[in-house]
Amino acid sequence: KQEVTQIPAALSVPEGENLVLNCSFTDSAIYNLQWFRQDPGKGLTSLLLIQSSQREQTSGRLNASLDKSSGRSTLYIAASQPGDSATYLCALSWWNTGNQFYFGTGTSLTVIP
Amino acid sequence: DTAVSQTPKYLVTQMGNDKSIKCEQNLGHDTMYWYKQDSKKFLKIMFSYNNKELIINETVPNRFSPKSPDKAHLNLHINSLELGDSAVYFCASSYGSTGELFFGEGSRLTVL
């Protein structure tokens, strides 16, 4: 069974702060890793996709890194804004699971104005 | 122009009924999925399907069945609904080796 863990479950920060969200996994034979955000009552919005041969991806104020040897990915959010408040989920697929992504439990982020 | 669309968005029904949720994607993807998000917000894959292969998560009861009339559609049919089936069901799609997932807005099912 593939396990994906996200800690902390909830995080509250003041506006403007830089922050890091964590995603841990037990099997390093990753195929892809994807970060999503989910707003309350909404679907999932893809933020960044990291393929197994890559170490990081950047989009605007977001940077995601992947360290397969330590079983960890981080999502770095620079200069946080209230609009960043959402639940952030990481999802991984492994070589033996093909296109099937397995999700972590998510980190609920609140950015306080 | 919505990339992955699901209908209905909300569904309230009685125990024992049969219901379907429809999903369509206009991204040209070759693989579609159904995920279930429970009350604790945990997302769990139920099915993945392309024109060659259906992969079923072994924990999914056989009351749930995916039906794909063509590459752009994957519907979810549920027989004999139970209280524990209440959840938000998400459809998703992806293409090729990148496997980047794109999600629909979700369908909230409430079983009374």
pLDDT in tens, B63-80: 999 988 888 999 999 999
Nearest to B19 by CA among B70, B68, B71, B85: B85
How confident is the model at residue A68, as a pLDDT?
Answer: 92
How confident is the model at residue B97, as a pLDDT?
Answer: 59
Give the pLDDT band of residue B89 (cuts 50, 70, 90): very high
Once rounded to an integer, what is the mean pLDDT over residues B32-55? 86
- Average pLDDT value over all residues in chain B: 90
Question: What's the DSSP call for residue B27?
Answer: S
How confident is the model at residue B99, as a pLDDT?
Answer: 81
Record: contact B99-A46, CB cut-off 8 A? no
- Flag whether residue B100 sits within 8 Å of chain A, measured between CB atoms: yes
Q: Determine whether B23 is exposed, middle or buried from the number of CB atoms within 10 Å of its CB (0-12, 13-18, 19+).
A: buried
Supply A12's token pair.
């509250």
Q: How far is A48 from chain B (nearest CA, A)?
A: 9
- Rounded distance, CA A30 to CA B54, Å? 22
- Rounded distance, CA B8 to CA A82, Å? 31
- Flag whether residue B31 sits within 8 Å of chain A, measured between CB atoms: yes
Once rounded to an integer, what is the mean pLDDT over residues B16-21? 97
How confident is the model at residue A31, as a pLDDT?
Answer: 87
Nearest CA in chain B to A88: B41
- Rounded distance, CA A80 to CA A87, Å? 14
How confident is the model at residue B1, as a pLDDT?
Answer: 64
B91 and B32 Cβ atoms separated by less than 8 Å: yes
Q: Determine whether A29 is exposed, middle or buried from the number of CB atoms within 10 Å of its CB (0-12, 13-18, 19+).
A: exposed
pLDDT in tens, B35-44: 999 988 889 9
Nearest to B87 by CA among B50, B54, B61: B61
Per-residue confidence of chain A (113 residues) as pLDDT tens digits? 678 999 999 999 999 999 999 999 988 888 899 999 999 888 999 999 998 899 999 999 999 999 999 999 999 999 999 999 999 999 998 887 766 888 999 999 999 99
Once rounded to an integer, what is the mean pLDDT over residues B45-53? 82
- Flag whether residue B94 sits within 8 Å of chain A, measured between CB atoms: yes
Record: contact A31-B102, CB cut-off 8 A? no
Task: Give ∠ CA A85-A88-A21 in degrees, rounded to 5.
Answer: 95
Indicate the SS3 state at residue A82.
Answer: helix
Once rounded to an integer, what is the mean pLDDT over residues B85-110? 90
Once rounded to an integer, what is the mean pLDDT over residues B42-50? 88
- What is the percent of chain B with per-residue pLDDT over 90, rounded to a whole number? 67
In this structure, how many other beta carbons lie within 10 angstroms of the beta carbon of residue B79? 13
Record: contact A101-B44, CB cut-off 8 A? no
Q: Determine whether A55 is exposed, middle or buried from the number of CB atoms within 10 Å of its CB (0-12, 13-18, 19+).
A: exposed
Once rounded to an integer, what is the mean pLDDT over residues B21-33? 93
Indicate the SS3 state at residue A48.
Answer: strand
Q: How far is A103 from chain B (nearest CA, A)?
A: 6
A30 and A94 Cβ atoms separated by less than 8 Å: yes
A7 and A97 Cβ atoms separated by less than 8 Å: no
B75 and B91 Cβ atoms separated by less than 8 Å: no
Nearest CA in chain B to A105: B42
